[in-house]
Amino acid sequence: MQLTAPATGRTEAPARTRDADGMAVASFILGLLGLLVLNLFLGPIAIALAAVSLWRGTARRGRAYLGLALGVADLAVLLIAIQVSNTVSWSL
């Protein structure tokens, strides 16, 4: 549903879609950042934001799916690093 601004005639996305688009972008950024640091925390947050933005019907579906994939990759990288180093934490 598009709303038309009375003075300008431009169409604006509803606030719910705009919030979902922001969550999709945030999930992508947090998932990407999580590959380097704090993947235990940023991975699940990226997954949750991507899922909520897809549920709300974001226009940035590709970015949401990338955020979802990167969130899962964050957790996979953490598990691999834990297995290789035989510790609960890891560092480069």
Residue 74 lies in a domain: yes
Domain of residue 60, residue span: 18-84
How far is residue 3's CA from residue 9's CA, in Å, rounded to a whole number?
A: 10
**Interior angle at CA 65, CA 57 and CA 53, nearest 5:** 30
Tens place of pLDDT per residue across the chain (92 aa): 555 555 555 555 576 677 888 899 999 999 999 988 888 899 999 999 999 999 988 888 999 999 999 999 999 998 988 888 887 665 65
How far is residue 88's CA from residue 91's CA, in Å, rounded to a whole number?
A: 11
How many domains is the chain partitioned into structurally?
Answer: 1
> Where does 1-92 have alpha helices with state H?
15-34, 39-55, 61-85
Residue 54 lies in a domain: yes
Residue 2 lies in a domain: no
Residue 89 lies in a domain: no
Q: What is the pLDDT of residue 91?
A: 60
Residue 69 lies in a domain: yes
How far is residue 24's CA from residue 90's CA, in Å, rounded to a whole number?
A: 28
Q: What is the pLDDT of residue 19?
A: 83
Residue 7 lies in a domain: no
Residue 35 lies in a domain: yes
